[in-house]
Amino acid sequence: MAKKRKSTEEELRELHRYTRSLIEASPDMMVTFDRDSLIMDVNQETVDMTGVSREKLIGSPFKQYFTDPETAHQAAMLVFEQEKVKDLELELELIDHKGDHIPVALNASVYRDAAGKVVGAFAIIRDISKRKKAIEEVQRQQGEILELSTPALRVWEGVVLVPLIGTIDTRRAQQVMENLLERIVSTESEVAILDIAGVPTMDTKVAQHLVITAQAAAMLGAKTIITGVSPSSAQTMTKLGLDLSRLTCKGSLSAGIREALDMLSLKVVESNGE
Pair 97, 50: CB distance under 8 Å: yes
Residues with Cβ within 8 Å of 242's Cβ and at least 6 positions away in sequence, in order, are 207, 208, 211
Pair 30, 62: CB distance under 8 Å: no
Choose the binding region for other proteins from 10-18, 33-41, 114-122, 174-182 (rule: CB under 8 A): 174-182
Residue with smaller CB distance to other proteins, 107 or 174: 174
CB of 203 to other proteins, least distance (A): 18
Asked whether position 266 contacts other proteins by CB under 8 A, the answer is no
Asked whether position 182 contacts other proteins by CB under 8 A, the answer is yes
Count of CB atoms within 10 A of residue 190's CB?
Answer: 18
Choose, by CB under 8 A, the member of 34, 68, 96, 178 that binds other proteins: 178
Residues with Cβ within 8 Å of 134's Cβ and at least 6 positions away in sequence, in order, are none
CB of 166 to other proteins, least distance (A): 23
Asked whether position 191 contacts other proteins by CB under 8 A, the answer is no
Q: Where would I find the beta strands (DSSP E) of 34-184?
A: 39-42, 84-85, 92-95, 101-112, 118-127, 153-156, 159-165
Choose the binding region for other proteins from 14-22, 65-73, 184-192, 256-264 (rule: CB under 8 A): 184-192
How far CA 233 is from CA of 5, 30, 227, in Å, comes to: 82, 57, 11
Rounded Cα distance between 38 and 79, Å, is: 13
Residue with smaller CB distance to other proteins, 15 or 185: 185
Rounded Cα distance between 151 and 161, Å, is: 8
CB of 219 to other proteins, least distance (A): 4
Asked whether position 217 contacts other proteins by CB under 8 A, the answer is yes
Choose, by CB under 8 A, the member of 221, 235, 262, 266 that binds other proteins: 221
Residue type at position 265: S
Pair 66, 96: CB distance under 8 Å: no
Residue type at position 153: L
Asked whether position 125 contacts other proteins by CB under 8 A, the answer is no
Residue with smaller CB distance to other proteins, 143 or 221: 221
Query: Contacts with other proteins: how many residues (CB under 8 A)?
Result: 17
Asked whether position 212 contacts other proteins by CB under 8 A, the answer is yes
Please list every residue from 36 through 55 that binds other proteins, using CB under 8 A.
none
Count of CB atoms within 10 A of residue 138's CB?
Answer: 10
Asked whether position 210 contacts other proteins by CB under 8 A, the answer is no
Residue with smaller CB distance to other proteins, 24 or 147: 147
Pair 85, 108: CB distance under 8 Å: yes
Please list every residue from 57 through 116 that binds other proteins, using CB under 8 A.
none
Choose the binding region for other proteins from 14-22, 24-32, 177-185, 224-232 (rule: CB under 8 A): 177-185
Asked whether position 154 contacts other proteins by CB under 8 A, the answer is no
Asked whether position 222 contacts other proteins by CB under 8 A, the answer is yes
Pair 27, 45: CB distance under 8 Å: yes
Residues that bind other proteins (CB under 8 A): 177-178, 181-182, 184-185, 188, 190, 212, 215-222
